[in-house]
A and B are shown apart, each in its own frame.
Chain A
Amino acid sequence: MKKMQLSSLSKIALLITGLLFFGALFVPMWQIQLEAPQYPEGLTLRLHANKIGGDVEIINGLNHYIGMATLHTENFFEFTVLPYVFGAFALISIVLIWVAKRKAVLIFLITYAVFIVLAAVDFYRWNYEYGHNLDPNAAIRVPGMAYQPPLIGYKQLLNFGAYSIPDTGGWMMTAAGVLLFLVVLKEYKFNKNTES
């Protein structure tokens, strides 16, 4: 039935979405920026789809003072899985252009939203683990102190101010999500003569 097919505008939006998911494979998705008086140049941890990047080596060098474990890409299974997930999202977006059914787009949008929630929970879990599971023999011990970075936003951790915010890839994924949402909105709300 023609009325359940997607408009050309929506197809273009899906194409852009696909490209955004694909592009997010090559740039960092998330960053934790650390600011301290003796680092006027700043320190940044960058999380890519497939590795931990940025100043991770320098940050690892500092972790042992507070008893925090060092960060290594190989300790997180997420970095082996995420590239395939993003790739799949990109592929699905492109395939949806041919499938051209608005219900399919809606299902994809819901799937993507669930993925985001799971990712946030997973990120929170790791932040908690690394921030609380401290070596009791650490040189600097502040009673009751934990070094859990914020999920998103700002938090002061001893002499460091930590900003947890999206990086380029994160913004691309956000844009992709917004585009998907707009497609669903357009197809459901503005095409009144339809069923389901």
Chain B
Amino acid sequence: MKTFKTAEIIELPNSGGNHSSPFITENTEYVVAGTRFSVPPDYANGDVAINTYKENFKGHISFVKVGKEGEMDLAFQIVTPGVNFDLSHAGKGKSHGWFFFSCYNTEQANTLLEVNASQRDKDFIMAVNWKKAEEYIKAGKGKKQTVKYAHNKWNEKTHTATSVMKNEVLVLDAAALKDICYMIPCPKSPHGCDVDPSGEYIVGSGKLAALIPVFSFDKLMGAIKDKKFEGDYGGIPVVKYEAALHGEVQKPGLGPLHTEFDGKGNAYTTFFVSSEVVKWDIKSLKVLDRVPTYYSVGHLCIPGGDSKKPFGKYLIAYNKITKDRYLPTGPELAQSAQIFDISGDKMQLILDFPTIGEPHYAQAAPAELIRNNGQLKFYKIADNNHPFVAKGEKEAKVVRKGNRVDVYMTSIRSHFAPDNIEGIKVGDEVYFHVTNLEQDWDVPHGFAIKGADNGELLIMPGETTTLKWLPKKTGMYPMYCTDFCSALHQEMQGYVRVSPAGSNVPLTWSVGTNLPKATK
């Protein structure tokens, strides 16, 4: 949160689409992910007939460990019967150590899911005892499976990324171990799976249901202890619905999707089909208030709303349908959202605003948490270890190695060095490594050159970024700064001369000295 840059990307093996992610355990022990689509695992044969779903397709949920500085590591996965995983949330407080995933398509359909995955009256919320799973891993019960996945990390000192291919993952079999996963029946094709701030109540939102089931963690633990099961699903014990149920919110609305909390004992659920947000009391399951949204709200965000201590004053509803809310812009419309004040008994609409999206999860926090977080204003040029950095205009140069040309370029208000380059030839592979020499707040420079096949560069003060350019035609190519940096930003430009392949125009580069020949 100092640079707001992508720092790390980890791929997940055995997965088809990452959903129910990223949700984290109470103290960021793990970030979890669930495969949205079950597929044959990477360590098995994927070349099978599609209608062998029931036999060959499996679900994998991933537990990614997070280090002190935020480094990620795929610690282990749990293999489950093939279903679709939708959302998840960690247990808190008393339910810390457990994780809850909503699953649908327990019918295990592989075609026309619209009909075939809506057959069963109840799908499941899968409760995962990850603390127990950790113990099994420590005891060596995890099976090493051969897979291939990438782990990429950004290095702030060299301003470049490294990519490492990993080739194995530890997998626990939920069906074989029998006490790390439990299925709780939940009507009907559940989507949201939300845990209240106390960690006791688990709210399942069935997209097609006309009620909201609220489960009790204490009752769930009791049911597991007393083995109140009704058979198993793919080897995983299924807890009896009533044994885990705290109660149902009756007739709240149509099509519940997500629930967040205000920390005062109230829950707020979005209803897609009836286009509203409904406020209800968790303990008494009574509906307290409802407000319309415009239109068909999907997600909602209360600052800290899914944490132990919500900040609770506001609620943002993110909608799926815009229609006539704002001025029309053709068939494609901006996304729509509304902000409500939820500090009183009744919810008050305070702002309706167009947004980008399609907006999904959002987290909000009081400004103080972000403002005083050691935000980086610029990169110190002395610490810049990019392999092609130029730490001053004296280090700017152009180097040719065969048909690869590396341009070590600098940028500072308001010129590039060099800004006149000749001797490039058609067929060259040119790399512009542009270093922004500024050491002040909010002075980025951009870089673009005619004929580039990719996006322009935006370089932060003290940073070096590279653009690959393949000149395909002879001619003159302007380059310029694409981010308004100074009063003379429009003058921050240069030219690159491209000669035919095999020409003997010498490679030259300069700034300020390439003046016209004096006339006789």
Once the chains bind, are B439 and A139 in contact (CB under 8 Å)?
Answer: no
Once the chains bind, are B413 and A61 in contact (CB under 8 Å)?
Answer: yes
Once the chains bind, are A57 and B439 in contact (CB under 8 Å)?
Answer: yes
Nearest Cβ distance between residue B461 and chain A, in whole angstroms?
11
Nearest Cβ distance between residue A89 and chain B, in whole angstroms?
36
Residues on the B chain within 8 Å of A61, using CB = 412-413, 438, 440
Residues of A within 8 A of B (CB): 41, 57-58, 61, 65, 139-140
Nearest Cβ distance between residue B484 and chain A, in whole angstroms?
12
Residues on the A chain within 8 Å of B441, using CB = 41
Closest 6 CB pairs of A and B: A58-B440, A139-B488, A57-B439, A65-B487, A61-B413, A61-B440
Nearest to B440 among chain A residues (CB) is A58
Nearest Cβ distance between residue B144 and chain A, in whole angstroms?
54
Measured between alpha carbons, how far is A61 from B438 in the docked complex, in Å?
A: 9
Measured between alpha carbons, how far is A139 from B491 in the docked complex, in Å?
A: 11
Residues on the A chain within 8 Å of B488, using CB = 65, 139
Once the chains bind, are A140 and B487 in contact (CB under 8 Å)?
Answer: yes
Measured between alpha carbons, how far is A61 from B487 in the docked complex, in Å?
A: 13
Nearest Cβ distance between residue B499 and chain A, in whole angstroms?
33
Nearest Cβ distance between residue A137 and chain B, in whole angstroms?
12
Once the chains bind, are B413 and A139 in contact (CB under 8 Å)?
Answer: no
Summed over the interface, the residue pairs from A and B with CB atoms below 8 Å come to a total of: 13
Residues of B within 8 A of A (CB): 412-413, 438-441, 487-488
Nearest to A65 among chain B residues (CB) is B487
Is chain A's interface secondary structure helix, strand, loop, or mixed overall? helix
Measured between alpha carbons, how far is A41 from B442 in the docked complex, in Å?
A: 12
Measured between alpha carbons, how far is A58 from B461 in the docked complex, in Å?
A: 12
Nearest to B438 among chain A residues (CB) is A61
Measured between alpha carbons, how far is A154 from B71 in the docked complex, in Å?
A: 52
Measured between alpha carbons, how far is A140 from B441 in the docked complex, in Å?
A: 23
Residues on the A chain within 8 Å of B440, using CB = 58, 61
Contacts A61-B438, A139-B488 known; 9 new A-B pairs at CB < 8 A: A41-B441, A57-B439, A58-B439, A58-B440, A61-B412, A61-B413, A61-B440, A65-B488, A140-B487
Measured between alpha carbons, how far is A30 from B204 in the docked complex, in Å?
A: 67
Could you pull out 9 A-B pairs where Cβ atoms are within 8 angstroms?
Answer: A41-B441, A57-B439, A58-B439, A58-B440, A61-B412, A61-B413, A65-B487, A65-B488, A139-B487
Interface centre among A41, A57, A139 (most CB of B within 10 A): A139
Nearest to B437 among chain A residues (CB) is A61
Nearest to B442 among chain A residues (CB) is A38
Nearest to B443 among chain A residues (CB) is A61
Measured between alpha carbons, how far is A20 from B116 in the docked complex, in Å?
A: 87
Measured between alpha carbons, how far is A65 from B440 in the docked complex, in Å?
A: 16
Residues on the B chain within 8 Å of A65, using CB = 487-488
Measured between alpha carbons, how far is A65 from B491 in the docked complex, in Å?
A: 13
Measured between alpha carbons, how far is A58 from B440 in the docked complex, in Å?
A: 7
Residues on the A chain within 8 Å of B487, using CB = 65, 139-140
Nearest to A40 among chain B residues (CB) is B441
Nearest Cβ distance between residue B441 and chain A, in whole angstroms?
7
Measured between alpha carbons, how far is A65 from B485 in the docked complex, in Å?
A: 13
Nearest Cβ distance between residue A135 and chain B, in whole angstroms?
14
Residues on the A chain within 8 Å of B438, using CB = 61
Measured between alpha carbons, how far is A58 from B413 in the docked complex, in Å?
A: 11
Residues on the B chain within 8 Å of A140, using CB = 487
Measured between alpha carbons, how far is A151 from B439 in the docked complex, in Å?
A: 29
Nearest Cβ distance between residue B223 and chain A, in whole angstroms?
59
Measured between alpha carbons, how far is A148 from B375 in the docked complex, in Å?
A: 36
Nearest Cβ distance between residue B430 and chain A, in whole angstroms?
29
Interface centre among B439, B440, B488 (most CB of A within 10 A): B440
Measured between alpha carbons, how far is A61 from B440 in the docked complex, in Å?
A: 10
Measured between alpha carbons, how far is A58 from B441 in the docked complex, in Å?
A: 10
Nearest to B412 among chain A residues (CB) is A61
